Amino acid sequence: MTAATDPQALPAQRITGKARLAGVLGWPVGHSRSPLLHNYWLRRYEVDGAYVPLPVRPEGFEAAVRGLQAAGFRGANVTIPHKEAAFRLADVLDDSARATGSVNTLVFQDDGTIRGLSTDGDGFVASLRAAGFDLPGAGQGAAAGRVLLLGAGGAARSVAVSLAAAGMQVCLTNRTRARADELAASLPGLSVCPWEEWESTLGDYALLVNTTSLGMDGGPEPGFCPSLQQASAGLVVADIVYVPQVTPLMAEAQRRGLRTVGGLGMLLHQARLGFQAWFGVEPQVDAQTEAYVLAGFSG
């Protein structure tokens, strides 16, 4: 380990009466790696502050947010199942939040208002670029600039909005067709592919993204591994799941010699904006950060 990744070598956590405070709201919230990441950055950049997990039931969400604001917190991340409630609660919304109808980052402003951000999609695009994926010119021939998203939930919406803004042509597929149709109807330019057919159309895309929890440890189908037989040699396979680090889908892609992008990059990049807003420092997403968080997964 380097000095920036060894917990014993990092500066001690500095918390005074002037500490800046933030956290993550969810139900449950024990699975979140956000406290690991943000407290690493706090120590690395020697910030007087703390970031804590905040398990809050849905019916108590607004009261919890108001209480944190009254207690002097700078803001909070928001995870399942509170993202839509956070959207309704925010006084000011960024463009991504308005487009997605959800918020994953709350910033408590000095004038008493609450600013709502949606950083998931932009974090995903940043992780692609960090991995060397060319947006929007990826792929060759008919596949150039085309992406297929698995899923039609909140994560799919965020990723679709950001990919479309980056110039990609987005197609959705979902086991429940009605949800995919509803999402496509709400966002201009999106198309829909039937779930039963998407594996046979992979040659038409430069990028495949799993935005569902399929393949996640402890999820509904941890062994999820569709056929990639029809994929072109240039297909890039991305998965927003980061536990495990290499999902069965990614393992199959690697077995076929395809490039892959895991979900850890999205986690790291989407966190940067909130950290900067709350703690006044723009953190780096680099190899040291990734190594520290990966080590924490098994710690």
Q: Is 43 labelled a binding residue?
A: no
Q: Is 34 labelled a binding residue?
A: yes
Q: Is 154 labelled a binding residue?
A: yes
Which residues does 233 contact at the CB level (< 8 Å), separation at least 6? 257, 258
Q: Is 289 labelled a binding residue?
A: no
For 189, which DSSP code? T
Q: Is 270 labelled a binding residue?
A: yes
Of 237, 49, 30, 223, residue with least CA distance to 149: 237
Distance CA 24, CA 280 (A): 18
Q: Is 39 labelled a binding residue?
A: no
Q: Is 178 labelled a binding residue?
A: yes
Q: Is 240 labelled a binding residue?
A: yes
Runs of H (alpha helix) within the chain: 34-44, 61-70, 83-89, 95-100, 120-130, 154-165, 177-186, 248-255, 264-279, 287-297
- Cα–Cα–Cα angle for 54, 114, 106, nearest 5°? 40
* Residue 112 parent element (H or E): none
Dihedral sign for Cα 117, 118, 124, 125, please: negative
Q: Is 152 labelled a binding residue?
A: yes
Q: Is 79 labelled a binding residue?
A: yes
Q: Which residues are catalytic?
A: 83
Q: Is 44 labelled a binding residue?
A: no
Binding residues for NADP(+): 95, 151-155, 174-179, 240, 263
Binding residues for shikimate: 32-34, 79, 104, 120, 242, 270
Binding residues: 32-34, 79, 95, 104, 120, 151-155, 174-179, 240, 242, 263, 270
